[in-house]
Structures are given as C-alpha cells and as structure tokens.
Amino acid sequence: MIRYTLACDKGDVFESWFQNSAAYDKQVKAALITCPVCNSVKVEKTMMAPGVLGTKKKRRDAPPSQMPPSPQQSSHTPPPHTPSPAAMMSPQERDFRNKLKELRDHLTKNADYVGRKFPEEARKMHYGETEHRSIYGEATPEQAKDLHEEGIEFHPLPVLPDEHN
Ligand SMILES: [Zn+2]
C-alpha cells in the first residue's frame, strides 16, 4: 500500500491509499478518484507528500519510528479539508432566491394587505362584488382549497428559505 497526497483542480488537498503507483495511475485515468471536498475527478499527486516521500525528510534528527503500524493506532489525522456541514448556495440558487425576494417585495409593495380576510376579499373580487386589485394576506389550507375549488386563482406568496446570509 502506498499513500499519496492528492490535490484536485480546485486546490483541495487530501490523502488516499493505493495498492501501488500503477493502481493509482489506473484509477486516475478511469476518473475513479474524486475529491472528497468538491467531488472533482481532476486530481493529481502533489509534491508535498509527507507520508510517501520519507527519504526527503529534512529533519534528520527525528528518531525513526520503530513501531510497526497496528490497526489500533492507525488512526489517521483527518484530511486537511474536512467537509463542513454548512450548506453552500450555488450562484444559481442565490440568483433564484434573489428573484423570489424581488417578486415578494414587488407583491407586498403593490398589493393591499388584507390579512385573514384574504379568502373573503378574493371571493368578492371573483364574483364581481369589488373591483379587481392585487391583494395578499393569509389563508388556511382549508380556505385555500375552497378557493381553488371555486376556481378563484391565487398564488402562495413565495417564502424565502433564509433571510440572513
Ligand atoms: Zn476539490
């Protein structure tokens, strides 16, 4: 087994074990090695492979390790770039979110807020009792269902996943 320190085209560095260097070559060509951080398959060996190129160690005074590797102590240090649980929004998602916000801002700016009277107001407009205008407000799922069944068209106000960045 041989350990290589690999880097992807985005600059993430991670370590991986291979049967031998030929196995590494084969897996790279077959795009079987992916970056654990960004899943890129464009990975290559880096020159800074501390575990592999042991002969190039500069510190000669370090005592050589006499301990044979045992399963109990083979707890490797975590890779330098441990994926974090934080969600990243892609530019498209960010864009989409901004559009939603625009739409919502536009709606709330140009429509009358009628609150819980929304079903009532929507119905009045639908049956010609009041003039058509843009309104927004609240409706329970049951009320929304009733409105739909009466053929009254309305749309749910877009809800943003998160207001703060
Ligand atoms: Zn990467």
Using one digit for the tens of pLDDT, what is the confidence trace for 116-125? 898 998 899 8
Tokens of 47: 């020159």
pTM above 0.75, yes or no: no
**Is residue 5 within 8 Å of 13, Cβ to Cβ?**
yes
> How close is the Cα of 162 to the center of ligand 1, in Å?
27
Alpha carbon distance 53, 75 (integer Å): 20
The per-residue pLDDT for range 86-112, each reduced to its tens digit, is: 666 787 778 877 877 887 788 778 888
Mean pLDDT of 57-73: 56
Top mean-pLDDT range of 24-33, 71-80, 155-164? 24-33
The per-residue pLDDT for range 151-161, each reduced to its tens digit, is: 988 777 766 66
> How close is the Cα of 154 to the center of ligand 1, in Å?
45
> How close is the Cα of 81 to the center of ligand 1, in Å?
9
The predicted pLDDT at position 60 comes to 56
> How close is the Cα of 126 to the center of ligand 1, in Å?
55
> How close is the Cα of 79 to the center of ligand 1, in Å?
12
pLDDT over threshold 60, residue 71: no
> How close is the Cα of 36 to the center of ligand 1, in Å?
7
pLDDT tier for residue 50 given thresholds of 50, 70 and 90: very low
